[in-house]
């Protein structure tokens, strides 16, 4: 059986990093590299570079860097095992863990996902049918949702009638039991019939780009049934762990540093159509811990944009409490009563909506001020208002953030901080395990390395045949920066190493970023020049260390002369002469000391 390490390396070697990244952003070939606008921060001039030979990317703006696994982890918010599995499927590599799972279960899941894709395409075709989809397209136009936006989010139409989709799936030779299992059909006395009928369809798509379920909005208000119906829970769809629109918004969320959470499908589309970025919604359920974990992969700041009525206020409160418990900063915007985001954008313009989100205040301020306005000057009402805020304070486990919240509440409501903290402690639940972001780049300051040290290590990573030359030169002992020195020692000890394997696995984030940048910059270095470049680096590194030693010796000689230690001065002078001879051997001109 293939080992996991072998499988990882097989996936790495079979993954075309240019093709992978090219699915997310437009890349332009420049020499042997590819450049484009960085997906991880906003920029107008391309600073994102991909080295296909070495399998690395690096952004010279935000310093994001890494290999194919790093990119998928950061771009899709995946853990390493998730990124590995995703890339392995594309590369056609069988992972050891997957070899132990039941092939029938994997095949069954794949069959259900293919079925949902067939259904999504059926609904899309109906929406864009010249006659059959006209009413649904008119509705979208009334809500300000353009055709381009509808196509981008894969909207569709479930036509009237009881068995349109079921008949289509039967022609496609799809199993009826599968349709029932994923909630596309309902079992009736005369056989299965369509769940979604005469409804606008919203495809619910996971981060892997696969359709997992659907939401349907009633087009005829006179028809029986709820305004919205959604796919039921099933083997490939868990509504508590998927957010509508996140597959489209994840890049914008990373670039803006925030996610905007609204209440429904139309809210997402209308706000995105108005120019707002990074908008998502839960699929017919309140915000859950699973949603929080999903958001935490991409950001630690979420703005809730709900109606300003009592229901919207309660939803904001629940969401803020959950987000705080997961170490996410919650911000709240409450729209005027009776208005949804689409109404607001139509009345005030998309720019006003964007400015509203940009100026969002923390949830505890917005909700606290709302409670205070309701309480007025009534002491008992204010007391009840403070008690209403205690769940939010208890949910916060960041001591610095909590300190600010407590101080604000105490000042705003005129209560004692000590009493407020005592009230918090009453009934406080144990702190949950902290949710870590899988892809958090180390932003350590660059240490005391020289460009020659960095270039030397990069050359050895790219040209393994030069490692013996470096080892024989003794340059390891002349390295100043301990992290790079350790990496050089590892290279000398382990011999040849694939750049992506070695650098991606190196624990020091600052070194990883610097090496990634150098690997991208040195992509065009011809192999015949590498040995000469390395020899030049070795001379400069050793010369610099000798000059530092020489300066230290001269300081000691001067001190010995001042204190009358003639014998020590003469001994140090002999050592200094030896250093001068070594410098001359390296081609450094040594000035005679007077």
Residue 365 belongs to domain with CATH number: 3.40.1360.10
Q: Which of left, alpha, beta for 189 (phi over 0: left; psi -120 to 50: alpha)?
A: alpha
Residue 240 and residue 291 in contact, taking contact as beta carbons nearer than 8 Å: yes
The closest of 14, 88, 41, 18 to 520, measured between CA atoms, is 18
Residues 6+ apart with CB under 8 A from 399: none
Place of tokens 């495809």: 203
Place of tokens 């932003």: 443
Question: 521 with 546, same domain?
Answer: yes
- The CATH number covering residue 167 comes to 3.90.980.10
Number of folded domains in the chain?
4
Final residue before a domain boundary, out of 211, 237, 263: 237
* Residue 58 is assigned to a structural domain of this protein: yes
Task: Count the Cβ atoms, other than its own, within 10 Å of residue 440.
Answer: 10
- Structural domain span for residue 190: 103-237
User: Could you give the CA distance from residue 245 to residue 25 in angstroms, rounded to a whole number?
Assistant: 18
* Residue 438 is assigned to a structural domain of this protein: no
Final residue before a domain boundary, out of 379, 407, 425: 425
* Residue 210 is assigned to a structural domain of this protein: yes
The closest of 425, 429, 423, 426 to 409, measured between CA atoms, is 423
Question: 200 with 268, same domain?
Answer: no
What is the model's pTM? 0.66
Q: How far is CA 252 from the centre of its chain?
A: 10
Question: 300 with 400, same domain?
Answer: yes
Question: 173 with 254, same domain?
Answer: no
User: Could you give the CA distance from residue 428 to residue 393 in angstroms, rounded to a whole number?
Assistant: 9
User: Could you give the CA distance from residue 282 to residue 285 in angstroms, rounded to a whole number?
Assistant: 6
Residue 200 and residue 216 in contact, taking contact as beta carbons nearer than 8 Å: yes
Question: 45 with 159, same domain?
Answer: no
* Residue 445 is assigned to a structural domain of this protein: no
Residue 576 and residue 557 in contact, taking contact as beta carbons nearer than 8 Å: yes
Task: For residue 263, give the DSSP letter.
Answer: S
Question: 419 with 468, same domain?
Answer: no
User: Could you give the CA distance from residue 424 to residue 392 in angstroms, rounded to a whole number?
Assistant: 9
Q: Beta strands 243-244 and 48-51: pairing type?
A: unpaired
Could you give the C-alpha distances from 55 to 58, 69, 92, 566, in angstroms and in order? 11, 10, 18, 60
Residues 6+ apart with CB under 8 A from 585: none
How would DSSP label each residue in 263-304?
A: SSHHHHHHHHHTT--SEEEESSS---HHHHHHHHTT-SEEEE
Task: For residue 360, give the DSSP letter.
Answer: P
Q: How far is CA 411 from the centre of its chain?
A: 37
Q: Which of left, alpha, beta for 34 (phi over 0: left; psi -120 to 50: alpha)?
A: beta
Burial of residue 373 (number of CB atoms within 10 Å: 0-12, 13-18, 19+): exposed
Question: 96 with 122, same domain?
Answer: no
* Residue 254 is assigned to a structural domain of this protein: yes
Phi/psi at 80 (nearest 5 deg)?
-60, -45
Element (H or E) spanning 49, and its range?
A: strand 48-51
* Residue 591 is assigned to a structural domain of this protein: no
Residues 6+ apart with CB under 8 A from 581: none
User: Could you give the CA distance from residue 543 to residue 537 in angstroms, rounded to a whole number?
Assistant: 10
User: Could you give the CA distance from residue 580 to residue 10 in angstroms, rounded to a whole number?
Assistant: 51
Question: 308 with 410, same domain?
Answer: yes
Residue 97 and residue 80 in contact, taking contact as beta carbons nearer than 8 Å: no
User: Could you give the CA distance from residue 541 to residue 536 in angstroms, rounded to a whole number?
Assistant: 9
* Residue 62 is assigned to a structural domain of this protein: yes
pLDDT tens, residue order, the chain (594 aa): 456 667 788 888 888 899 888 888 888 888 888 999 888 887 788 889 998 887 888 888 888 888 888 888 888 777 778 888 888 888 878 777 655 556 788 788 889 999 999 999 999 999 999 999 999 999 999 888 999 999 999 999 999 989 999 999 988 888 888 888 888 989 888 888 899 999 999 999 998 889 999 999 999 888 888 899 999 888 899 888 899 999 999 888 888 889 999 988 999 999 999 999 999 998 778 899 989 988 988 888 999 998 878 888 888 899 999 999 988 999 999 888 888 888 888 888 889 999 999 999 999 999 999 899 888 888 888 899 899 899 999 999 888 999 999 999 999 998 888 888 888 887 554 444 443 333 333 333 335 556 788 888 888 887 878 888 888 888 888 887 777 788 788 777 765 555 555 565 555 566 777 777 777 766 666 777 788 888 888 888 888 888 888 889 889 989 888 888 888 888 998 888 888 888 888 777 766 554
Indicate the SS3 state at residue 549: helix
Question: 257 with 403, same domain?
Answer: yes
Q: Which two tokens stand for residue 197?
A: 């009928």
């Amino acid at each position: 059986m293939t080992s996991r390490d072998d499988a990882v390396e097989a996936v790495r070697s079979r993954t075309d990093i240019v093709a992978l990244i090219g699915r997310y952003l437009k890349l332009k070939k420049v020499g042997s590299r590819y450049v484009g606008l960085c997906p991880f921060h906003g920029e107008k001039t391309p600073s994102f570079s991909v080295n296909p030979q070495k399998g690395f990317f690096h952004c010279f703006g935000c310093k994001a860097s890494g290999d194919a696994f790093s990119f998928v982890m950061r771009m899709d918010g995946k853990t390493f095992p998730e990124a590995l599995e995703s890339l392995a499927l594309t590369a056609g590599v069988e992972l050891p863990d997957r070899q132990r799972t039941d092939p029938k279960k994997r095949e069954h899941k794949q069959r259900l996902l293919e079925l949902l894709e067939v259904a999504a395409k059926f609904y899309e075709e109906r929406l864009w049918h010249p006659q059959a989809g006209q009413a649904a397209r008119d509705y979208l136009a009334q809500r300000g949702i353009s055709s381009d936006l509808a196509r981008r989010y894969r909207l569709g139409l479930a036509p009237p009638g009881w068995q349109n989709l079921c008949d289509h799936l039967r022609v496609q030779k799809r199993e009826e039991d599968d349709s029932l299992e994923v909630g596309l059909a309902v079992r009736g006395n005369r056989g299965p019939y369509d769940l979604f009928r005469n409804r606008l369809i919203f495809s619910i798509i996971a981060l892997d780009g696969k359709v997992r379920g659907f939401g349907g909005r009633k087009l005829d208000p006179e028809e029986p049934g709820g305004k919205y119906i959604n796919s039921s829970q099933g083997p490939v769809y868990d509504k508590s762990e998927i957010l509508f629109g996140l597959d489209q918004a994840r890049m914008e969320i990373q670039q803006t540093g925030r996610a905007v959470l609204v209440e429904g499908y139309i809210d997402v589309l209308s706000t995105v159509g108005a120019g707002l970025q990074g908008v998502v919604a839960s699929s017919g359920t309140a915000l859950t811990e699973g949603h929080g974990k999903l958001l935490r992969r991409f950001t630690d700041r979420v703005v809730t944009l709900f109606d300003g009525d009592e229901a919207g206020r309660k939803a904001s409160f629940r969401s803020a409490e959950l987000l705080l418990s997961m170490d996410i900063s919650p911000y709240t915007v409450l729209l005027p009563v009776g208005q949804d985001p689409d109404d607001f954008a139509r009345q005030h313009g998309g720019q006003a909506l964007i400015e509203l989100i940009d100026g969002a205040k923390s949830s505890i301020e917005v909700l606290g001020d709302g409670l205070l306005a309701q309480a007025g000057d009534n002491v008992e009402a204010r007391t009840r208002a403070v008690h209403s805020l205690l769940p939010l304070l208890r949910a916060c486990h960041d001591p610095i953030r909590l300190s600010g919240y407590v101080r604000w509440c105490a000042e705003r409501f005129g209560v004692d901080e000590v009493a407020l903290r005592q009230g918090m402690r009453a009934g406080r639940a144990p702190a949950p395990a902290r949710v870590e972001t899988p892809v958090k780049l180390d932003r350590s300051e660059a240490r005391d390395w020289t460009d020659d040290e960095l270039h030397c290590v990069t050359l050895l990573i790219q040209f393994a045949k030069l490692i013996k030359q470096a080892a024989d030169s003794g340059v390891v002992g002349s390295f100043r920066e301990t992290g790079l020195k350790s990496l050089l020692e590892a290279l000398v000890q382990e011999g040849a190493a694939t750049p992506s394997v070695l650098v991606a696995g190196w624990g020091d984030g600052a070194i990883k970023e610097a090496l990634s940048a150098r690997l991208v910059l040195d992509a065009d270095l011809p192999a015949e020049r590498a040995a000469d470049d390395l020899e030049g680096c070795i001379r400069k590194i050793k010369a610099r260390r000798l000059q530092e030693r020489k300066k230290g010796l001269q300081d000691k000689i001067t001190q010995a002369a001042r204190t009358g230690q003639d014998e020590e001065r003469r001994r140090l002078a002999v050592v200094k002469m030896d250093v001068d001879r070594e410098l001359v051997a390296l081609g450094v001109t040594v000035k005679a000391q007077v």
